[in-house]
Amino acid sequence: KGHHHQTKGLKLVSFSSGFELQFRLGPSLQGKRVMVHTNYPLEGKEFERNNFRVLGWSYPTGREDDSDKFCSLDLKMAGSYQYYFGYGDTERSGGGYIVVDPVLHVGADNVILPLDCITIQTYLSKCLGHLDDWPDRLRVAKESGYNMIHFTPLQTLGESRSCYSLADQLNFNPEFSPAGQSYSWEDVGALVEMLKKEWNMLCITDVVYNHTAANSGWIEEHPECGYNLVNSPHLRPAWVLDRALWHLTTRVAEGRYEAKGLPADITNESHLNAIRSVLWQDVYPQIKLWEFYQVKVDVAVEQFRTLLLNGTKPDHSKTEGKKGLRIIRDPHYRRYGSTVDMDSALETFVPHSSSPEHIEECCGWLRQKVNQLNEEQHHIVHQHQEQAANCIVGNVVYEHLADNGPKLGPVCRKNPLVTRYFTFPYPDMTLEQELQLLDQPDKTCHFLAHNGWVMSDDPLRNFAEPGSNVYLRRELVCWGDSVKLRYGNGPEDCPYLWAHMQKYTEITAKYFHGVRLDNCHSTPLHVAEAMLDAARAVRPNLYVIAELFTGSELVDNVFVNRLGISSLIRVHAGCGPNSVS
């Protein structure tokens, strides 16, 4: 209730199933014609996120009196729903979210298991052995008093064998089947049902939407599902730097930089300083990243000269009254691909007459200004390179020197100087040969960006999209075994990926009582929202846990409200295990 009340998802309002939710007018809305809309479905109807209906008003006194009228919802369906209200000529004056908790049942008699009574134990599925051995290995959880089991993903794992790098989201991992047998999702479902009815235990597993294993067969066939150099050309400079760093790794591993104070075995501060020196003296000058953002001055001046000689006038409608020379960034990110907006040039540098002398004077001004703008781009890239050097050295410190790090030992191909940011599914070439591949889209579509996380980043921002320089500045804590998935704004942007992941979601919801949203803070909200809608269509009372590290309770609430999350997973500072809250 209230006037201009708009929560924008920052306020958490959750209810148990069976509640009646009433909307009443606050004092500032009395006497106004108020309309309340919601996408909570009518009984017996399926939920559609974008299908809003108008709620009718009830009058307890029997007469149409604003003072006590209300509209209401009988909350029986778990999930996340929206409402909004408007009055007068304004359709949306405010609104918010309604989260309805799922109702969970255990035992042959379907006894309700309250959400605040859940005690959950995680099992690393890959360590459980064959499926027919699982009951014996899970029994310790039952006898210890747990009433829910969380299985890490049961799908085929990628070549790193990380629990969260999946090669195939749809198929049950064949490693769980002994020789001569082939277990399926139906067999898993039968086990889950036995645990529920006979052991009074529910089972959940993960859904991993952010990434897939780099060796996934389907991503090779559908590279458009990842961020590659064709659909995400802004990553081209970052890819060039990544290849240069890989070649630096191979040279360091071969001892070719020992004379410059950089041995393969990095053990002290002087070796770190040598890394910085090599980057600035050898790597950066060789790859000239600033060229991807600059204008070819002679070409721009010649084009401008031709326009002046032809007496061309600027199109003021295109400059929109904005003064000053404008540079147009090349959408394909080619070297010297940026161009000068000639309408802004003609408007900025106007010759006193059409004489050759005055035209050349204007061309000189343009040349001077474009050189200045190119220098500004050079300075910006220099700043990116400084940050990249800091991140590279910081990565080396953690992996090779830090007491709390893995201490990987000498740099080699298996343990490179830094984790590679992009896949390169071809035999190594010289760096010069590899840079020539940039002109071959049939090759560059397979150079896919790896996933990872960015420290202290905005969880509502996608760090792989245009406008972000995370890959160029080497700010990604990279998972070199996994490729980041590119959903776009909706299924129309990447039909195969959306269909593949929806099928994965529906399989999971069919056989498990709930899901753990892996890496929820980096999952695009509209993706998780759509997938959970599909999951709840299969299992309405879906229990949802999210691994969510946002650093802000208000941002937490955005995720909880939009996704209908029941519990959050935290990592305690200084501790390894997760905790559920």
Domain contains 375: no
Domain contains 542: yes
DSSP of 436-454: HGGG-HHHHTT-PBEEEEE
Q: Are residues 94 and 109 located together in one domain of the fold?
A: no
Percent of the chain with pLDDT over 90: 80
Strand bridging mode 327-328 / 53-55? unpaired
Q: Which of 76, 100, 124 is the last residue of a domain?
A: 100
Sign of CA dihedral 487, 84, 52, 568: positive
Mean local confidence (pLDDT), 45-63: 88
Q: Which of 47, 82, 100 is the last residue of a domain?
A: 100
Q: Where are the alpha helices (DSSP H) in 11-149?
A: 134-143
How do residues 124-165 score in pLDDT, each as one tens digit?
999 999 999 999 999 999 999 999 999 999 999 999 999 999
Q: Which long-range contacts (CB under 8 A, 24 or more apart) does 301-307 make?
A: 301/363, 301/366, 301/367, 301/370, 303/340, 303/342, 304/340, 304/342, 304/345, 304/346, 304/349, 304/362, 304/363, 304/366, 305/359, 305/360, 305/363, 307/342, 307/346
Q: Are residues 192 and 162 located together in one domain of the fold?
A: yes
Q: Say whether pLDDT at 575 is over 50.
A: no
Q: Are residues 90 and 145 located together in one domain of the fold?
A: no
Is there a contact between 34 and 25 (Cβ–Cβ < 8 Å)? yes
Domain contains 494: yes
Q: Are residues 96 and 147 located together in one domain of the fold?
A: no
* Maximum average pLDDT range among 224-238, 396-410, 539-553: 224-238
Tell which residue, 193, 282, 209, 294, has the closest CA to residue 515.
Answer: 209
CATH (domain of 178): 3.20.20.80
| Overall number of domains in the chain | 2
Alpha carbons 494 and 491: distance in angstroms, whole number: 5
Q: What residues pair up with 207 in beta bridges, in sequence order?
A: 517
Look up residue 224 and give its two tokens: 């458009």
How do residues 68-127 score in pLDDT, each as one tens digit?
889 999 999 999 999 999 998 888 999 999 999 999 999 999 999 999 999 999 999 999
Q: Are residues 93 and 138 located together in one domain of the fold?
A: no
Name the band, by pLDDT with cuts 50, 70 and 90, for residue 6: very low
Alpha carbons 224 and 238: distance in angstroms, whole number: 18
Mean local confidence (pLDDT), 507-528: 95
Q: Are residues 122 and 209 located together in one domain of the fold?
A: yes
Alpha carbons 158 and 133: distance in angstroms, whole number: 23
Q: Say whether pLDDT at 569 is over 90.
A: no
Q: Are residues 108 and 90 located together in one domain of the fold?
A: no
Domain contains 109: yes
Q: Are residues 108 and 211 located together in one domain of the fold?
A: yes
Alpha carbons 99 and 563: distance in angstroms, whole number: 8
Tell which residue, 554, 529, 558, has the closest CA to residue 544.
Answer: 529
> pTM here?
0.91
Domain contains 420: no
Alpha carbons 278 and 388: distance in angstroms, whole number: 13
Mean local confidence (pLDDT), 490-513: 98
Name the band, by pLDDT with cuts 50, 70 and 90, for residue 4: very low
Q: What angle do CA 227, 230, 233 make, to 5 degrees?
A: 80
Domain contains 421: no
Q: Are residues 209 and 108 located together in one domain of the fold?
A: yes
Q: Which of 100, 126, 148 is the last residue of a domain?
A: 100
Range(s) of the domain holding residue 520: 104-217+488-580
Q: Are residues 507 and 539 located together in one domain of the fold?
A: yes
Domain contains 268: no
Q: What angle do CA 167, 169, 170 make, to 5 degrees?
A: 125
How do residues 538-559 score in pLDDT, each as one tens digit?
999 999 999 988 878 888 889 9
Q: Are residues 92 and 123 located together in one domain of the fold?
A: no
The reported pLDDT for the residue numbered 324 is: 84
Domain contains 529: yes
Question: Range with the lowest mean pLDDT among 116-120, 292-296, 327-331, 574-578?
Answer: 574-578
Q: Say whether pLDDT at 580 is over 90.
A: no
Mean local confidence (pLDDT), 516-520: 93
* Maximum average pLDDT range among 12-26, 312-326, 338-352: 338-352
Q: Are residues 141 and 92 located together in one domain of the fold?
A: no
CATH (domain of 20): 2.60.40
Q: Which residues does 418 contact at the CB level (< 8 Å), separation at least 6? A: 245, 249, 392, 395, 396, 474
